[in-house]
Copies of this chain bind each other. A is one copy, B any other.
Amino acid sequence: MNANLADDALYRIDMMQVSASDDPSPCLGLGLAAAPPFDAGAREALKRIARQHEPVPPGSRLHEAGEPFTAIHAVRSGAVKTVRRDASGEERIVAFHLPGEFFGLSAIADGHYATSAVTLTTTAVCSLPGQHLFRLACEHAGLQRQLMRLLSGAIRTEQGQYAALAGHNAEVRLAFVLDQLRARMNHPAHAGATLRLPMTRAELGSSVGLAAETTSRLFHRFTDRGLIEARGRRITFLDPLALHHLGAPASAAEASAAAARAADHLPVVDSTCS
């Protein structure tokens, strides 16, 4: 069926991204998402300023909200959560970060980290000191471009999460985040293999605004329907496609025929003010 083909293509892309990010030092690829037009010089220079950290135990705090910005970080192995403490003292999870993904990007704006970063499992990260990175970006256009893409991609991801959260019920929200995790954890779309979640039910729920109990109940429901099989943190995706479609309402619909529209329907008053 047509829908199946489209879905397969989607998942293949996911897998490529993740397998590419198996690179032990994502800092050197800078997120690599799309085009990697890196001249060798830029990559070499990145290598010089990148700091490779050795693994730290679960629960380690990598940076705290409010601390002055020093560097952006990427996960080499393991998993990290970024959290915000709200006025009532509760800790709310902003995002999870898996191998190959960057965090701490929101600190560039005003020179202070907006979130705290905590490791969920034994985790190794690498970091790119801001000062050096920005200097380098001045010299290498490709690097600058890729850095912009990285930041822009983070905005897009946040927007997606936000849209997923707003106006969808618990079931869709959890399906969405589980599907996301599966895709990002280098897990094939076809049924079968098992994988170990790095976070608790409470954390998983908190990341989409659900109570731990609700999350547990939904796990049960998904199991009943044959979508997944879960024992503790071990989860098996029995029907990843169904799970994906369940969470799909939260994803943006593809704009099909938007190409035809020209971009100049805004009247230009003063285009090249001398």
Contacts and interface: CB of A to CB of B under 8 A. Distances in A.
A109 B167 contact: no
A199 interface: no
B152 A252 contact: no
Nearest to A134: B145
Contacts of A40: none
A208 B255 contact: no
B106 A33 contact: no
A95 B121 CA distance: 34
User: Is the interface on chain A under 10, 10 to 19, 20 to 34, or 35 or more residues?
Assistant: 35 or more
Interface in A237-274: 248-256, 258-259, 261, 263, 266-273
A114 B151 contact: no
Nearest to A56: B266
A147 B109 CA distance: 9
Interface stretch (A136-144, A180-188, A190-198, A217-225): A136-144
State the number of copies, please.
2
9 contacts: A66-B258, A86-B163, A106-B156, A106-B159, A134-B148, A137-B144, A144-B144, A155-B158, A165-B209
Contact of A269 (B52, B141, B148): B52
B159 A114 contact: yes
A232 interface: no
A109 B159 contact: no
Contacts of A110: 33-34, 149, 153, 156
Nearest to A166: B209
Given A66-B258, A207-B166, A250-B86, A53 B106 contact: no
